[in-house]
Every structure is written in C-alpha cells, then in structure tokens.
Structure 1
Amino acid sequence: MLELDSTLAQHIVDRAMAILPYNINVMDAQGMIIGSGDPLRLHTRHEGAQLVLANRRVVEIDEQAAACLRGVRPGVNLPLLHADELIGVLGITGDPEVVRPYAELVRMAAEMLVEQRQVQAERHWQRHQLDAWLRQLFDPAVSVAALAADAQRQGLALAWPRQVCLLELQEGGEPLAQQARLLGVLTGKSEHLAAPLGMREMLWCRPLSAGRDDARWLESADERGLGLARLLVSDPVQSLGQLRQACLALRDLQAFARARYPALRLVSLEEHRLATLLHAQRDSWLLQGWLAPLKQVLAQDSNGMLRETLEAWCKHDGQVQSCATALGIHRNTLRYRLERVAELSGVELTRLDRRLQLSLGLGLIEPD
C-alpha cells in the first residue's frame, strides 16, 4: 500500500492553499498531521482524522464537537484513497457549512496528485531496473540465463538484430545534465535502450539500421551541443548471448582506441576487429613471443626512424617507390633501413605474413 510522506503531503497543502483561503491539513494513516498550512500543527495527532480512519467516512466537526476533541478545529475531514486503499485523511479548516462545497474538490485534486506521484515513482523504479539490467551486460559474472530471466520479468521485448554502442562524454560540463539530455535523445523510441555506465559513459542498445550514418549522427550531436567525445559501435548481434559478447568486445575496442587513436571520434569494431583482439591479449606470454622480433628492432631505434619507416612500409603494402615518396627519402635509403630492420628482427620483409606481423605489432607497442 502506498504511504503518504511529508513531502507529498505538504505539496498537496501548498497546491490547495494557493487557490483556497482556508487552511488545509493532510494526515497520515495513523492520524498524524504531516502537511499543513499552519506549521504549529505539524506532527500533532488529529483525533478527527482518527475518526475518519476508524469509520472510513467523512467526518464534519463544528465548534461544539471541536471543543471535545484534542488537536481539532472546526472543519471537514475526508478519507484519502489510492487504489481503493485508505492512505490518509484530508482536512479543510472552517465552518463545515462554508467549506463543505470545497472539500470534495480538494480531495479529488489531492488524490490526483497522489496518483501522479505514484506513476512517477513506478517510472523511476522501472528506469532504475532497466539501468541495472543494461549495466549487467558488462559483468561476466552474471549469466546470460539470468539476464534473460530478468529481461522477461521487466517485460523487455528485444527484437533482433541489434547493435550496441558506447558513448564517451566530453570532459567539462555537468555530467548528470549531459546524461539526462542524451537519455532524452537516445530513448525517444521504445526499442532504443540507453543507460549511464559512469559519469562520462553511456550505453546505447539500438535496432540495426542498414542506412544509419553514424558520422552524420555525431555531427548532429555536436550541433545540438550534446557533448559527445567518442562513439564506439559494435557488430550486429542476433541474440542476448551475442549482445553480452558485443558489450565486452566494446570494452576491448575502447581500450585499443584510447591507446592507439585517442583523437578518433567514431570507432567501429568492424574496422578494428583483429587489432582489438590482439590488443586485449597484449600482455599474454603467447603474444609477447610474437612481438619479440619487433621489440628487438625498436630497442635499437633511439630516434624512432626505423619505426616510422616500418609504419610507412606496411601502410604502402611494401611498395618501394610510394613508401620512399611518403617518407621523403631516396629508394636506396629506404632499402638500407629495411635491411637494418630485417637484420635486427630476423624477419623477411618481402613476405606478406611477416609485414602483417610487424604492422599489427606496431599497434600493440606504444611509442616511447
């Protein structure tokens, strides 16, 4: 059963007394005054309200009856109901013959305010439950079966395919206000789900749309001043299990982007899949062995010249002339540098798989 609190009770009083020239009291289910236009009457027991609560009916009190009751003045006292449950009492002070025409109107308005507050509370609770469910997508300790059961309990109808995004918010500004604005934009349609993950992060789970232009969407977000720093986008997913995996993959993509492309604002898993996978395993013994030849080169590259040469060589697919032009050096100079890389690493640079090894490795080892 809904319980009246002092905040709601005083709100009812203030709204009513802004219109009527009579004092209004609101009593709780024990007959205590918890809202009143007369501060001296707050937190006192109202015996007239107790009569209402005991008999579940309107009680009118004139001057003679008021003299016999404690904490009571002349007026009309009515039961306050919510969903047919008696939750408190509304009192309007004055001669019953005078205030009676207003009493029922005030009660109707009060019950509407109670209903409005209850609807708001239920929406807040549903929002809280949805936020918690979306955050659990990033927690491997919560099983997919538990996620499915919780989604069913909340009545979440997840149509597939979907796509999950991470949104990073710009530093500066008030993060709660930024999040509130973004929630309004992202959840304009019921099939779009969004939730804050932290003060500067948000999750957006959206239906897949083949024609969506995320670059243009970012531009539009900038025009509206939404304060977005970066948008990271997953592959399409076809089930709740894949949605969980996509969320975890986005965390890896985010770590990769922050390390290698800190200024890149739109990052998709499709474009950086292999590099993200390797970056997530960058500290493993197996991958460290794979990186060993490149590390041998970089250890002897005090001025960064060999790294710059390798990056250009891989970018231009081993094409000597285009690589030399990009570096602004002679072809022979390029050959000399590549021979030095081959000597230090023991890697045959003419082989595509070896160039790929070095190219991917460069993305895993931070420049000094």
Structure 2
Amino acid sequence: MLRACAQELAENTSEIAGYSVLLTDEKGLVIGSSDPSRLGSLHSPSLEVIRTRRPEITTQEEAKNLPEGVRPGITLPISLAGRVVGSIAIAGPPEEVSRYGRLVQKQAELLLRENALVRSAMMREQALQELILEIAAFDPRKADESLPVMRGRELGYDLRSPRAVLVAELLRPEDVPLNRRLEAQALGRKFFSHPQDIVTRLGDEKLVVLAFLGLAAKEKDPLEEVRKTARLLALSLEREGLPVWIGIGEIATSAALLGEAYRTALEAARLSAGKDTAERVSFIGELRMESLLSTIPKDRASAFCETVLKDLLACPDSRDLVRTFLAWCDRPFEPARVARSLSIHRNTLSYRLQKIGRLTGLDLRDARGILMLRSALELQKLGAFRREA
C-alpha cells in the first residue's frame, strides 16, 4: 500500500520542506524519491530504523562510510496498524531536517491510513456488487442458498430475513457522469439507512436496494413503508437531476427467493418506464398484465395491435378517445363518475364509447371486448418502449 503513494508523497514533501526526501519499503529498498536515480536502491540507515522502530540521524562523517548515495539527514519509521511498513528519510543538515522529521512522518502515516480506508471501502463496495450479481443469477432449483447467505454474513448482513428488493434505473445513464451516479448511491443509503439495508450500484445505470423488512413483514401491507421511502428517494433524485424508475419486486421471505425478487424488481422498473404515468415507483404485483403481455413475441403483438387499433389511432381525436376508454376501464359501468373525472357530459361519454366500438369493431359492453382493446393499448405502449430502449 505504501508503494502505491510513495513517489507522490516523496515529491510533495520535498517540495514543501525544500530537502530531498525518500521512502523505503520494509526491506529498506527505495520505492519513492525526489531523486529518481535512487529508486530501487538500498537505503542502509532504514534497516536499523525499521528493526528498532526508532528515528536515526546520519551525520556527515557517518554518511561517508555508508554505501554511495546515502546522505546526512534523518530517517524515521512509518507505521500502519501497529506494524512498521517502511521508512521515510530527509536529506540535509541533521540539525535542520530533524525539525521536519516528526511532521513528515505523521503526514506519511496519515496518508497511508486514508488510502487504507479508501481501499477498504472500495473492496467492500466491490464485494457488495458481486453479492448482488450472485443473487441476480441465483436459482434455488440449481444451487444451494447457503453460499449467498455466507457471503452476506461476511459483509455483516443476514440474508435469511425477509427483504424487499428495489431496482432504480436511471432514465438517461449516458448523460450522467460517474460522480453523479455515486451521488445517487449516497442518496439511496440516506433513505434506506437501516444497518441491514443493502444499497449498491450495479453497472452504470442501476441502483439496487435490498431493504430489510423486519417486523413489517408481518403487517397487512409489508411494503407500505418501503413504497413511501422509495417515492421520497425518487423525488430527491429527480430534484438532483437524476430521474429514475424504481421497481419493487416480490417480497423475499428467505435467501432462496432473493433472486426472483431481484428479477421481478428489475422487470417492474422497466415496465413502469413504458407506462404513461408520473408515478416513478411501481410494484410488480400491480403490473401482472403488463408482465404477461411483455412475453408475447413482437411480431404477434404488432399484428394484434394493427388489427385492433389501426382505425382508432388514425382518427383525429384518438387521444381523447383512448383517454376516455382508459377512464372507463378504471370505473367500468359507472358512467356518471367517469364523465365527471373527464369533465364531460354523460352523453359525450356514451358517444365516445360508441365511436370507439365502431372504429375497433369491439363491443365495449362486453368484458371480452374491453379486455382486447385494453390489451392492444398496453401492447402498443410496450412496443414503443421496446423501440426506445
């Protein structure tokens, strides 16, 4: 770890102190130096400093008897987590450079600690991403859940507890720099802050949350708080210029079900992105029909839409007609309430429904006709979303 920052530290310290500076590894070999010619050579005073853990001053007379290149100055040990990992030496009149010795030593050790923390955080983040990838591909019919459970335990998480899986997909990831994506992850951890909540990035465009449910798993609506928190997260990300679609998958009551929960959350995020709605958070349970329709081959879906929707969509007032039909689907056989929701007269509603029936050849008084038209409209939305994706 010292080797990774030794050269930068030597150059920066030398520039500040005005003296030559070098750093060695635990074997006394120079790994960073303001004088590049010293790199790879042995700095003999460092051997004793590393052995005794004590600073050592080299006088002008002593330097004459040491290997070529060793100059008068001071050498100090560098420690990390109680272990000496190398040394730092400042060349110059001993009475002058000794004043800088302790400061330079502490600066080197502080930088090492910071690098160790950053490296540890990066390794943990990588381990979390690998865990999510493993969960995403997990199939309980082919593998034992004990492996992801063990990996989760190593990271401090109990994957056997009930969890809700959320996937947030950025709308335009190619327009979002890496540092902004890290902001999305930080916001995710701010909102899902329980010690057992897992929040990490996956790829360039996804934020994955394994939300710990705890006692909420036994409630009538186990996802109530998760939904609220997800909506707050979506709103906060939107304000930061990071719009997302968030999908919530099936509840995973055990580690074996986490893979399916992740896949259904991802599906919910992608299906909701194809819907004409301001709602940024969708639960897969509310998208059963869209999920089923998305499995229909594209060519068959296109042919079906062409048959049912051709004349309707060609009509100049098709937008109003479609809006009217969807409102009718929301409150079937309640004409008064539907008309009020659309701010139209009941006679206008009746006229529009009759016109839709003529254009599509479907009887909207019959459940089969309503289902066919609703399915065709949903397939059309899915088809448009697929082309955009």
Unaligned residue ranges in structure 2 (runs of 5+): 214-222, 385-389
Q: Which secondary structure does the structure 1 equivalent of 2:199 belong to? A: strand
Aligned match of 1:241: 256
Cα distance in 1, alignment partners of residues 14 and 346 from structure 2:
78
Task: Kindly state the Cα deviation for residue 126 of structure 1 after the two structures are TM-superposed.
Answer: 0.8
Is 1:48 the equivalent of 2:48? no
Amino acid of the residue matched to residue 189 of structure 2? T
Unaligned residue ranges in structure 1 (runs of 5+): none
**1:285-364 → structure 2 map (5 Å cutoff):** 296-298=307-309, 303=314, 308=322, 311=326, 314-318=329-333, 329=348, 331=350, 334-335=353-354, 338=357, 341=360, 350-352=365-367, 355-356=370-371, 358-364=373-379
**1:22-61 → structure 2 map (5 Å cutoff):** 22-36=19-33, 38-43=34-39, 45-49=41-45, 51-52=47-48, 55-56=51-52, 58=54, 59-61=56-58
Is 1:153 the equivalent of 2:151? no
Structure 1 residue aligned with 2:270, among 252, 255, 263?
A: 255
Aligned match of 1:64: 61
Cα distance in 2, alignment partners of residues 91 and 295 from structure 1:
80
**1:83-102 → structure 2 map (5 Å cutoff):** 83-100=81-98, 102=100
Structure 2 residue aligned with 1:73, among 61, 71, 74?
A: 71
Task: Kindly state the Cα deviation for residue 296 of structure 1 after the two structures are TM-superposed.
Answer: 4.5
Cα distance in 1, alignment partners of residues 283 and 209 from structure 2:
15
Aligned match of 1:205: 210
Is 1:192 the equivalent of 2:189? no
Structure 2 residue aligned with 1:132, among 108, 130, 133?
A: 130
Contact 2:245 2:269 in 1 (8 A): no
Aligned match of 2:297: 283
Aligned match of 2:177: 175
* Distance change in 2, residues 1:184/1:192 (3 Å): same
Task: Kindly state the Cα deviation for residue 90 of structure 1 after the two structures are TM-superposed.
Answer: 1.5
Contact 1:26 1:91 in 2 (8 A): yes
Cα distance in 2, alignment partners of residues 284 and 302 from structure 1:
19
* Distance change in 2, residues 1:70/1:294 (3 Å): closer
Residue by residue over 1:274-308, the C-alpha shift from the partner in whole angstroms, topping out at 9 and shown as x without a partner, is: 223313422399xx69x998764346767266984
Amino acid of the residue matched to residue 259 of structure 1? G
Amino acid of the residue matched to residue 282 of structure 2? S
Q: Which secondary structure does the structure 2 equivalent of 1:14 belong to? A: helix
Residue by residue over 1:205-230, the C-alpha shift from the partner in whole angstroms, topping out at 9 and shown as x without a partner, is: 3344744364455444444x252233
Task: Kindly state the Cα deviation for residue 25 of structure 1 after the two structures are TM-superposed.
Answer: 1.6
Larger relative helix fraction? 2
* Distance change in 2, residues 1:358/1:328 (3 Å): same
Cα distance in 1, alignment partners of residues 71 and 297 from structure 2:
78
* Distance change in 2, residues 1:310/1:228 (3 Å): closer
Identical-residue share of aligned pairs (%): 18
Contact 1:294 1:361 in 2 (8 A): yes
Q: How many residues in Structure 1 have an aligned counterpart in Structure 2?
A: 355
RMSD: 4.1
Amino acid of the residue matched to residue 111 of structure 1? E
* Distance change in 2, residues 1:5/1:119 (3 Å): same
Cα distance in 2, alignment partners of residues 173 and 281 from structure 1:
30
Task: Kindly state the Cα deviation for residue 119 of structure 1 after the two structures are TM-superposed.
Answer: 2.3
Residue by residue over 1:148-205, the C-alpha shift from the partner in whole angstroms, topping out at 9 and shown as x without a partner, is: 2221222224584433322233537543122121222222333332222232332233
Greater RCO, 1 or 2 (C-alpha within 8 Å, sep 6+): 2
Q: Which secondary structure does the structure 1 equivalent of 2:39 belong to? A: coil
Aligned match of 1:116: 114
Contact 1:163 1:234 in 2 (8 A): yes
Contact 1:78 1:89 in 2 (8 A): yes
Contact 1:232 1:268 in 2 (8 A): yes
Contact 1:46 1:70 in 2 (8 A): no
Contact 1:6 1:35 in 2 (8 A): no
Q: Which secondary structure does the structure 2 equivalent of 1:246 belong to? A: helix
Q: Which region of structure 1 is more displaced relative to structure 2, 75-84 or 351-360?
A: 351-360
Residue by residue over 1:233-263, the C-alpha shift from the partner in whole angstroms, topping out at 9 and shown as x without a partner, is: 33544333333222101222233223343x5
Contact 2:247 2:272 in 1 (8 A): no
Contact 2:167 2:246 in 1 (8 A): yes
Cα distance in 2, alignment partners of residues 26 and 299 from structure 1:
76
Contact 2:168 2:269 in 1 (8 A): no
Amino acid of the residue matched to residue 254 of structure 1? A
Contact 2:247 2:266 in 1 (8 A): no
* Distance change in 2, residues 1:200/1:218 (3 Å): same
Task: Kindly state the Cα deviation for residue 355 of structure 1 after the two structures are TM-superposed.
Answer: 3.3
Amino acid of the residue matched to residue 76 of structure 2? L
TM-score normalised by structure 2 residue count:
0.72
Contact 2:247 2:270 in 1 (8 A): no
Q: Which secondary structure does the structure 2 equivalent of 1:227 belong to? A: coil
Cα distance in 2, alignment partners of residues 350 and 46 from structure 1:
92
Amino acid of the residue matched to residue 281 of structure 1? T
